[in-house]
Amino acid sequence: MPSSAEKRATFRKLHAQGCFVIPNPWDVGSARYLQGLGFKALATTSAGFAFAQGLADGAVPRAMMLAHFREIAAATDVPLNADFEGGFADAPEGVAESVKLCVETGVSGLSIEDSTSDPAVPLYDFELALARVRAAIDAAGGEVVFTARSEGFIRGRPDLEETVRRLKAFAAAGADCLYAPGIRTREQIAAVVKAVAPKPVNFLMSTATELTVNDLAALGVRRISLGGTLARVAWTAVARAARDIAATGKFDSLAGTMSNPELNAFFREDAKKR
């Protein structure tokens, strides 16, 4: 098992060039399976983990989230990026305290949002958002890859000009990676990449699209994450099957599922590698 320092060094190298996919597990099993497929890094998903706990996204308390990071980081050999939501604080000082605790869990990277979680005022004021990013960067201490997120496109404020303004300021403040979840078009992606160059950009792939990894790489995207999408894929399969059984009394929806022997074989072999 590589050390935290080794995984952090690997994670920084991944951001230096090329383009990689960083899928988002929500528990140890999904993390080990994704690692076994050869992905070079993983990222947590606040939504996927929350759903697994019977909670809505954003309702997981800080202590539980930190324990989750520690568990996944300890269970995997590849770098782990932490979806740390808004840092569980409004004030920069509170964000800094949370980031220090996050770094201690052994993650290789973390992200902080500029969302307030208040639908009436969905984004922090520009200056406060920037102060929060600066505090997070100082608290991270250069040990982990810090990703600054601007949430306007998924919080009812899809303003590309404002999103770019924020990301450019976050990049100038020292953020290692920039992320605007919710942008979709080639034009939007290209605009964000150009605005913060040469800093790397994370793109969220949350729905079926004609864009491929090669397409996104050609647009200059460095990192492609899936957020809670894989968790929703799993929930979709479970919900469809269960609803069909409840409504019809038939079990046709179980066709094509992975067998116990297949999964047992994977996890037995995986356990031998630890």
- Domains (range + CATH), the chain: 4-229 (3.20.20.60)
What the block records as the tokens of 181 is 């979840």
171-180 CB burial, b ≥16 within 10 A, e <16: bebbbbbbbb
What pLDDT does residue 273 have?
A: 87
- Dist. CA 264–CA 131, nearest whole Å: 49
Fill in the DSSP letter of residue 201. E
What pLDDT does residue 89 have?
A: 98
- Dist. CA 108–CA 230, nearest whole Å: 21
Average pLDDT along the chain, 274 residues, taken 10 residues at a time: 97 98 98 98 98 98 98 98 98 98 98 96 98 98 97 97 98 98 97 98 95 98 98 98 98 96 97 90
What the block records as the tokens of 15 is 């951001």
- Single-letter amino acid, residue 74: A
For residue 230, give Cα distances in angstroms to 44, 83, 200: 11, 15, 23
0.85 surpassed by pTM: yes
- Dist. CA 167–CA 184, nearest whole Å: 16
Classify 58 as helix, strand or coil: coil
What pLDDT does residue 126 have?
A: 98
What pLDDT does residue 274 have?
A: 84
Q: Compute and round to an integer the Cα radius of gyration of the chain.
A: 19
Fill in the DSSP letter of residue 38. T
